[in-house]
Amino acid sequence: MSANEQMAAVDGLGFVPYTRPTGTDTAEPLKIGVLISGSGTNLQALIDLIAAGKLNASIELVVSSRPSAKGLQRAERAGIQTLTLSKDVYADPIAADEIIAHELLERGCEYVVMAGYMRKLTPVVLDAFPDHVLNLHPALLPSFKGAHAIQDAWDAGVKVTGVTVHLANEDYDKGPIVAQRAVPVLEDDDIDALEARIHETEHIIYPEVLRAIAEGRMTLDADRKIHIRSVD
């Protein structure tokens, strides 16, 4: 799709917020869209688990904010449709997110999974998928928010950091926490070793959350706190 076609696609779009119908058969794969900007290692972890029959989900679309993102190659090798928007479109974040929301909705995506997506989503996507946008953060929120969480935790000299999965909202890194996993900072660590273990943990916790959602075990209560029921 050219830049002009992308801009034209925005006109007249209407969005119906997604709500998974009560009683949906959890045997049906959870349809997700994955948003990336870089190497796509978390995307690859999901692809591998789905292919191995260990995650009952279907990646309907991968959206990249960068045409050079290696994650696009991972998606294409797996036969997954991809979408990359031009810089001209991204110059208007609302227009870009209208296209993204439209494409995700067109493919029946139930959840939007941010996996190293280095752009803040506008209310266009958030309102199209209310409480159905997941983000992965490489620290134990509410500590070390922002794009440099691993470096910030390292510089602070903490002895434990970790990974957080949370629902995305308009406040950066402030949505309801879905799951967390601690990662210790070892005495002989350098920042590269710590970062590698954090990424390994991401590859475990994100699929666990998606598995709980696919199996109908995650709920959001009236106080906007997440509960995940253990496997029976």
The confidence score (pLDDT) of residue 226 equals 95
Q: pLDDT 10s per residue in the chain (232 long)?
A: 444 444 444 444 444 444 444 455 668 999 999 999 999 999 999 999 999 999 999 999 999 999 999 999 999 999 999 999 888 999 999 999 999 999 999 999 999 999 999 999 999 999 999 999 999 999 999 999 999 999 999 999 999 999 999 999 998 889 999 999 999 999 999 999 999 999 999 999 999 999 999 999 999 999 999 999 998 7
| From 137, 166, 199, 227, active-site residue | 137
The confidence score (pLDDT) of residue 24 equals 57
Q: Are strands 133-137 and 160-167 parallel, antiparallel or unpaired?
A: antiparallel
pLDDT tens for residues 93-123?
A: 999 999 999 999 999 999 999 999 999 999 9
The confidence score (pLDDT) of residue 127 equals 96
The confidence score (pLDDT) of residue 171 equals 87
The confidence score (pLDDT) of residue 164 equals 98
The confidence score (pLDDT) of residue 56 equals 97
**SS3 labels along 99-117:** HHHHHHHHCCCCEEEECCC
pTM score: 0.88
The confidence score (pLDDT) of residue 57 equals 98
- List the end-to-end C-alpha distance of the chain, in Å, as a whole number: 46
In the chain, the amino acid numbered 173 is D
The confidence score (pLDDT) of residue 3 equals 43
The confidence score (pLDDT) of residue 40 equals 97
The confidence score (pLDDT) of residue 87 equals 87
Considering the segment(s) 3-8+29-219 as one domain, its CATH architecture is: 3-Layer(aba) Sandwich (3.40)
pLDDT tens for residues 212-228?
A: 999 999 999 999 999 99
**SS3 labels along the chain:** CCHHHHHHHHCCCCCCCCCCCCCCCCCCCEEEEEEECCCCHHHHHHHHHHHCCCCCEEEEEEEECCCCCHHHHHHHHCCCCEEECCHHHHCCHHHHHHHHHHHHHHCCCCEEEECCCCCCCCHHHHHHCCCCEEEEECCCCCCCCCCCHHHHHHHHCCCEEEEEEEECCCCCCCCCEEEEEEEECCCCCCHHHHHHHHHHHHHHHHHHHHHHHHCCCEEECCCCCEEECCCC
For residue 199, indicate whether it is catalytic.
Answer: no
Contact predicate 107/101, CB 8 Å = no
Spans of all domains in the chain: 3-8+29-219
